[in-house]
Amino acid sequence: MELDRLYIEALNIPAIEFKLNSQNVNPVYKNGKILTAAYTSMLKEVPQNKHFLILKHSQNLFSFYVANQKMKYILGPIILTDAIAENHAFNGESKTIYLPQLLTTYSVEKKQSINQILMFTKLIGLNLTITEIKEAFDNPTKSNQFNDKLILVNFNDEGAHVSYAYEKALKTAVELGKPSMVHDAFIGLVNSGRIGILSDESNLRNVKNWGIICTSVTLRAAINTGMDYDQAYSLNDHYVRTLETLNSYDEVMTMIEKMVVDMAQRVNQLKSVHLSTAVRRAYQIIMNTPETRITIEELANQLGLSPHHLSTNFKKEVGITITRFKILVKINRTIEILHTTNLPLAEISDILNFSDQAHLTREFVKFVGVTPSKARRNPHLVDNWHLYNFVNINIG
């Protein structure tokens, strides 16, 4: 494998490589889950004869265009964790506060990103300087390519209003018992500077109040998935007391994330505590990869079991077949995508590996009771829907 591709894979950054062929450019390599069509659209945003360009999708989400005589590359998108902190003025721009898992990427500080770009350009024979890269950051090209895949929050002098979708994202992370989703939701928010005006006293009081509301909302989600009421309310008291002892914005925001992660971890433990090792592993694999087409045979092979043995034990312990559980996980992910993006149903069905849009709609109506389009227009219709309503895991 060429050094440029080895470096991309070492960074584990989403990227694509196009080969120049006469007047055409053809994709010859891609890393990550970003669709080739998205990269092709971004390529059209680049002026002719440009060798390096930075594309800005939101205040902290960027992609990088690099070209030599034979190849064109787009690296990203990536999240710059300190991009917002550089600009303390509330200028009305939108900040990314949640990146859905379908737009898998990674986070890095600006200085580290500059060094990575510098190294990559040297690998492909392009002599850029740090000054040139910094100047490109100061004058990026605006790109709207990922607007339909981002949850944005608008900041102004009166604070910020966190969307229903953001609240839903945190609740979903707790309900699914997936701590990693919590961190994704907090990446931009921690660096934003404000949450909303909930108190006239100070920004610190303001963010503490938001934290109290946040923990209350997410604890209700934990109760809905089986957490004991007394335990939940005891945790709530503990969380609130902890928040009140803190003395800075960063400490409070960090603690809020830790508390929600703690809830997600507790739910995860509750959900699998009574499952055997093999069934728990199969359960986690399916939950974590709703977009894959893994068969029962492939799953059993990973776990060193026969398909019959795994299928029998899974249904006995979870209460439904592996096939039905896989569909329910895809439906659960569909609801999340419907509420956090504007992706068309055809693309959602493709991402989640339904045979087509009609297949997605049939399964959605079967298990949810309304069409995906109706659920998108009326989010409250699926507020009480959850895949755990269909399983019989003993959470004690």
Instruction: Assign domain 3-81+105-143 to its CATH architecture.
Output: 2-Layer Sandwich (3.30)
Quick one: which H or E segment has residue 122?
helix 110-123
Considering the entire predicted model, what is its pTM? Answer: 0.47
Task: Give the pLDDT confidence score for residue 163 in this predicted structure.
Answer: 47
Task: Give the pLDDT confidence score for residue 340 in this predicted structure.
Answer: 66
Instruction: Assign domain 277-390 to its CATH architecture.
Output: Orthogonal Bundle (1.10)
pLDDT block averages, 10 residues each, the chain of length 396: 90 92 84 84 88 88 92 91 52 42 69 94 93 94 73 41 58 79 61 41 72 83 75 84 82 83 82 78 82 89 93 92 94 82 87 92 95 90 79 58
Give the Cα-Cα-Cα angle 339, 342, 345 (nearest 5 degrees). Answer: 90
**Residue 323 tokens, joined:** 């096939």
Name 273's Cβ contacts closer than 8 Å, sequence gap at least 6.
395, 396
